[in-house]
Structure 1
Amino acid sequence: MKKSVLAYPLLVSMASVAVPARGQEQVGNDEGQIVIADRRLPEIVVTGLPVTRGDSVYNATEIEMDSSQTVENALRDVPGLQQFRRSDARSANPTSQGVTLRGLGGNASSRALLMLDGVPQADPFGGWVAWPGYDALALSNARITRGGGSVADGQGAIAGTIELFSDNVGDRIELGAAYGSRNGVDADLLFGRELGQGQLTISANYARGDGFIPIIEGQRGSVDRPAEYEQAGLAVRFVAPLSDNVELQSNVRAFTDDRERGFAFSENHNDGADASIRLVDRTSDWQWSALAYLQIRNFDVSFGGVADDRNSVSRVFEQFNVPSTGLGARFEVRPPVGDNVELRIGGDWRRTEGTTNENFFYLDDDTPQRSRSAGGSTATYGGFVEASLQASDTLVLTGGGRIDFWSIDNGFRKEIELINPFPGSVRTDEMFANRSDTEFTGRGGFAFAATKKLSLRGAAYLGWRLPTLNELFRPFRVGSDATAANELLEPERVKGAELGLDWESGVVKFGITAFYNQLDNAIANVTLGNGPGVFPGVGFVAADGSYSQRQNLDAIESRGIEIDAEFDLGELADGLSVRAAYAFIDAEVDGSGDAAAVDGFRPAQVPRHNASGSIRWETANGSGASLSARYVGQQYEDDVNILSLADAFTIDGRMALAVTDRLLVETRVENLLDARVEAAVNSNGIIERAFPRTFWVGLRAKIE
């Protein structure tokens, strides 16, 4: 099994070739991988170009993927990293699973840029993440860089960057299967074969379960039932050298995701397929990479209105077909400019397009009165330059900037009557004006090795994010509450700064960072009224529902402290380690106009306190045990800070026994204390919870 780590010397591992960043010392290890001896850089397994000296300036955390956890739940161990909802991909609505950092939440679209082997992963229509599409078994590690303004990675990284890296599995077959509470099944397969100098990897994952009843006990009615789920994914990756210097990386990935929200007319379905191809040259004097990718997505979702006594439910809204595509390309070159200087020059392009098709105003569960279509397209084109300087033996300086051109095109919204008195008549047919502009992104900073154990760092940055097609054009409902889209939204812009220190001895690694972020034009769901009534963009809202619209707030200000620590206790017992981390976030809204009522309030879904810790013991043959804990502080469901979600403390555990060198028996428990993790609350006080206590027992077999 893989262990979670925070920071080690830089580890660079590629399928066929591996080289250090210029100016760093190359050292071998027992596995034949390349270790770069630079204490200030965190460990990272990369599949593209090596990280640069400049990366030591920014607050980065590295965790290894563990097959006993899903990718999204492994990332939850990083304090300050959160999704819009506390629930995971087994019970949450997939459209609420955007990921963010540093308290810049309040919106279900991602404000942190998630990438897999250099390819952006956010849904091209909505900006959320389809977590069931990832198999942790096929991934080596993740690198989380807190703080926005990533020059090389493009728009979207206003809260930070999350990079996932595929594993180099060699000749290996691994199969795991587990059975859990409520008829849960988790299974995964990894097949790796070295073909000449190339590497073929095939991975597959499957999960299903009868689910649990999301509404807490004591508030349930006859309509409430377990929220079942079924999910599957398949990925194929082939890596091969084209010459002594150039490597080809090709990836194809597909997934399907079916969930229910725990009552009739709450089902949702999400499908997707990705493909990418990348060429990388890491060994020439002129290092370079070129990437092209395609994303295809489609989802449908139904919304039911539940009566106050929760004994009846009726269909109120259905998005029956929401197709979208994303296209992109990226190029980077690193010319040789001296042993003490690293220079990055490149550019990228991304285009998204999508349409939502909806039925609403239902006379009965099968008869909608109206139909609506809405959508459009967005595009960004950008170029960047970034340089890192080894100014002295103890000082690294870095800085860079990029300029982007963006456009929002072909926006439309059309509503049609479906029944008498005028079936087929057009009620609304709007074409929105195309818009375009330019944005500047920049960042810079320093890293100073004060002593052999202590280093100081600081950084400042600017970043931006273009509104998603979902925010611009798609209305949505959560229970009786309705939120309208807004085609006039402006891009979000962040400016921030941070100071930190890192201390490392042979046993302890410790890091602390203080930060300040100001997110201007923050897109949030602003409450404008309450039902009953008919409201623009959403239609009828019941008496127990609220009406909101996506709007640009003046700003969200977020300041806080992040602490990471790890203790290597191998002297007490081989393979024993302890990790602890904490984030304090003080965030508030600066609002005026329609948003004046939320001025000074905390952004929705942002807790002040977030902490995690774990103790792990693992032997060379895979046997071991671990215990991990997470704490999430109180947060608010709504922008006016009335609906509160209580704090939550959860404990997970795992025990594994290697029966033979090839067979492992494993038991796991999630939420050992069966804590009530509140994930949502509506205006009637009805509370929805995340996953309860869940036990798993399984086998894992490996052939090498």
Structure 2
Amino acid sequence: MLTAVPLLIIAAPVVAQDCEWPVRDPDDQATYGCVRRFDDYPVKINQKDIVVTGALAETKSDSSYPISQITLGGNITRIENALAQAAGLQQFRRSDARSANPTSQGITLRGLGGNASSRAQLLLDDVPQADPFGGWISWPGYDTLQLASVRIRRGAGQVAAGTGALAGVVELDSLQNMDRITGAAYFGSRNSADAKAAILQSLGAGSISVSGSFTRGDGFIPIKEGQRGAVDRPAAYEQGGIAIRAVAPLSANTELQANMRAFTDDRDRGFDFSDNQNSGVDASLRVVNRTPGGWQWSALGYVQVRQFANRFGAIGAGRNSVSLTLDQFSVPSTGLGTRIEVRPPLGDSAELRVGADWRRTVGETNENFFFTGLTPGRNRRAGGGSDTVGLFTEASLDLTDMLTLTAGARADHWRIADGFRKEVNIGGSVRSDDRFSDRSGWEGTGRAGIVWRSTDIFKVRGAAYLAWRLPTLNELYRPFRVGADATAANELLAPERLRGAEIGADFEKGGVTLSGTIFANRLNNAIANVGLSNGPGNFPGVGFVGAGGVFRQRRNLDAIDSKGLEIEAAYTVNLFWVRASYAFVDAQVKASGNAALLDGLRPAQVPRHFANLGIGYDGAKVRADLSGRFVSGQFEDDVNSRHLGGAFTIDGGLHYRLGTKIELELRGENLFDAQVDAAIAADGVIERAMPRTIWVGIALDF
């Protein structure tokens, strides 16, 4: 199935891409580049072949956000794990895309969890990346060889980013305008293999790039040792993808960017009937005009096509037997969107951006259940569609050299339509055939910020904001199971609405940077998986739940209150660097009615403390890094009855350069094999995240 990807990798073996945040060329204010270190000196990747590269420039409004810049590190560093450098950013579960169920891999910040849908917006070249049906992120679809930069803008009210950015925005930007053939091949523990390749070629004043990746592994046994039974086995995985990007100038200040990527992702969860398959194809066209001192604009159109399948098995007592309970054999979905933005010339002290966007999602789940052996007795189809159309504007004004004011507003009209759920006895009667009423409404997003600079090296910033998120089709229509627990969908969910404020300060001088932010958020109508009853029994929307299992339904809670602190620091001296980050999150559920039992409890899967510390050396021949990450305890469930312990892990890497084109790398994940609890079932059985994994590989750069 993935034969094309290994052939591409064999054809072009590769290199590590240590690419830091793009920097402005001081000699050309319209050109942006990317600095990385591979040889003995920094190399600017983007040249002056064309005037315009990438997206529109940053705005003064960005100065009011706390921003984290992410270093990708070695080639085998997965993007979802690299993002963990930003303390407080998390997925719903602690596992990465080698062992987690894809549906658990939404991302969020600032304790705004509740379920696995993303509450932070992920963008690749301005295109939203969340799964159009479920809101989770398909991490195997991203290749680090194609990325120039990764950064995180924390906080809500980011009007130009579209809807759903309740906690912040993660921005990925692609490389372009360079001549390079790169590749890497790594081998690791448990027969793991990871290979990547990329060809980036300038064509006249434009460029084209092609990259491919393939990774596989026999996997580890997810269940904690001592609790395993006869059904447990290693959770194997196989993932691959290809990405193509072309850039062509349309004029001296305008360029056309075309992107296409495709990926496949096959995982096993470590026992029979736990396999899942996730695949997708994305395409986009973006035109960017950056006329110096004049009108600037961008226009974007994109499509996302996804296919997902998943099976669930019920494990018997002692983990010595397993039976098929649910086969979600086809979950197709499509996302379509457009976006346009215009920036008029207003001089040096003021900026204005005005734009509009539209996004449509459609999808459905097709599943068999009520099995006798391997023969299903019933079938369920459920799904629908949603549309959002928004207008936004954002402005900034320098009142003095020391004081900048920013403000943004956005109005969205949303519509949820064509919702349905139908259940039939296979080969027999119709059990239910529901058609849900269409719904629509208006929601608003806004942000007001202030930045005060006492000097060029120190600033204080503050902001207040509003934001909202539409329920995903997954939350509205698709039930799911985790172990013995089952969760029903809810077609009547209301949009989530957030209001909040923050204040912070940034310091930068020489090799020292410091940043700190205090925030307070309230997420009204927070969508969570709310426990309603215990098994055994038959329950609407999910069927039978066995003894020890819990029946849940997605519900709108009154609110989640989240307050906290974020700190980041970095220090560079000569060839040495140190980076540290810490986040404290005090999140609490406000609930009444059927969910009153949850009032005052912590949201599921939300730790209180996050901390990271990394040190490194970047010499002419040798590079080395060592990082530690701590995440405090959290609760598996909404009633805070199942506790997942805190975890401290250490990763490290050693790179050795053989000349200027070849680099050897030795890297270790979770070096001391700490147990990282990822889930705990009703019977107390614990699932762990990735154990110690050692990699060795070679990278080449031509």
TM-score (norm 1): 0.93
Matched, 1:307 2:316: yes
Gaps of 5+ in 2: 1-15, 33-41
Find 1:318's aligned residue among 320, 327, 352: 327
Deviation at 1:520, TM superposition (A): 0.4
Q: Which position in structure 2 is the counterpart of 1:39? A: none
Which deviations, in whole Å up to 9, do the C-alpha atoms of 1:599-643 show, x marking residues without a partner? 00000000000011111111346x311001110010000000010
Deviation at 1:477, TM superposition (A): 0.3
Deviation at 1:17, TM superposition (A): 9.3
2-side partners of 1:109 and 1:13: how far apart? 38
Which deviations, in whole Å up to 9, do the C-alpha atoms of 1:208-267 show, x marking residues without a partner? 000000000000000000000000010000011111111100000000000000000000
1-side partners of 2:496 and 2:53: how far apart? 30
1-side partners of 2:556 and 2:67: how far apart? 30
Q: Which position in structure 2 is the counterpart of 1:638? A: 637
2-side partners of 1:46 and 1:264: how far apart? 49
The DSSP-based 3-state class of the residue aligned with 1:76 is: helix
Change (3 A) 1:494 1:46: farther
Amino acid at match of 1:577: W
Q: Which position in structure 1 is the counterpart of 2:160? A: 152
Matched, 1:567 2:571: yes
1-side partners of 2:29 and 2:204: how far apart? 14
Q: Which position in structure 1 is the counterpart of 2:344? A: 335
Q: Which position in structure 1 is the counterpart of 2:594? A: 594
Judge which range, 59-68 or 321-330, deviates more.
59-68
Q: Is the 8 A contact 2:331 2:366 kept in 1?
A: yes
Matched, 1:48 2:55: yes
The DSSP-based 3-state class of the residue aligned with 1:152 is: helix
Q: Which position in structure 2 is the counterpart of 1:61? A: 68
Q: Which position in structure 1 is the counterpart of 2:182? A: 174
Which deviations, in whole Å up to 9, do the C-alpha atoms of 1:121-149 show, x marking residues without a partner? 00000000000000112101111011111
Amino acid at match of 2:180: R
Q: Which position in structure 2 is the counterpart of 1:605? A: 605
Question: For residues 204-283 of structure 1, what are the structure 2 equivalents within 5 Å?
Answer: 204-283=212-291
The DSSP-based 3-state class of the residue aligned with 1:450 is: strand
Identity %: 57
Deviation at 1:32, TM superposition (A): 8.5
Q: Which position in structure 2 is the counterpart of 1:86? A: 94
Q: Is the 8 A contact 1:137 1:190 kept in 2?
A: yes
Matched, 1:659 2:666: no
Judge which range, 60-69 or 407-416, deviates more.
60-69
Change (3 A) 1:184 1:33: closer
Q: Which position in structure 1 is the counterpart of 2:540? A: 536
Matched, 1:489 2:489: no
Q: Is the 8 A contact 1:12 1:33 kept in 2?
A: no
Which deviations, in whole Å up to 9, do the C-alpha atoms of 1:497-531 show, x marking residues without a partner? 00001112212111110000000000000000000
- The number of aligned residues is 673
Matched, 1:293 2:302: yes
Gaps of 5+ in 1: 21-28, 36-44
- Deviating 4+ runs (over 4 angstroms): 1-5, 32-35
Q: Is the 8 A contact 1:64 1:140 kept in 2?
A: no
Question: For residues 64-75 of structure 1, what are the structure 2 equivalents within 5 Å?
Answer: 64-66=71-73, 67-75=75-83
Question: For residues 68-467 of structure 1, what are the structure 2 equivalents within 5 Å?
Answer: 68-168=76-176, 170-284=178-292, 285-364=294-373, 366-418=374-426, 423-467=427-471
Q: Which position in structure 1 is the counterpart of 2:577? A: 577
Amino acid at match of 1:592: S
Q: Is the 8 A contact 1:472 1:486 kept in 2?
A: yes
2-side partners of 1:58 and 1:670: how far apart? 32
1-side partners of 2:620 and 2:340: how far apart? 41
1-side partners of 2:53 and 2:419: how far apart? 39
Deviation at 1:569, TM superposition (A): 1.7
Find 2:504's aligned residue among 492, 500, 504: 500
Q: Is the 8 A contact 2:45 2:177 kept in 1?
A: no
Q: Is the 8 A contact 1:249 1:278 kept in 2?
A: yes
The DSSP-based 3-state class of the residue aligned with 1:601 is: coil
Find 1:18's aligned residue among 30, 38, 63: 30
Amino acid at match of 1:173: I
TM-score (norm 2): 0.94
Deviation at 1:450, TM superposition (A): 1.5
Amino acid at match of 1:699: I
Matched, 1:475 2:479: yes
The DSSP-based 3-state class of the residue aligned with 1:294 is: strand
Which deviations, in whole Å up to 9, do the C-alpha atoms of 1:557-606 show, x marking residues without a partner? 00000000000121xxx2x1000000000000000111101000000000
2-side partners of 1:102 and 1:32: how far apart? 34
Which deviations, in whole Å up to 9, do the C-alpha atoms of 1:264-292 show, x marking residues without a partner? 00000001000000000012511000000
Q: Is the 8 A contact 1:11 1:34 kept in 2?
A: no
Deviation at 1:46, TM superposition (A): 7.7
Deviation at 1:68, TM superposition (A): 3.5
1-side partners of 2:101 and 2:46: how far apart? 41
Q: Is the 8 A contact 1:114 1:122 kept in 2?
A: yes
RMSD: 1.9
Amino acid at match of 2:324: R
Deviation at 1:452, TM superposition (A): 3.5
Amino acid at match of 1:462: L
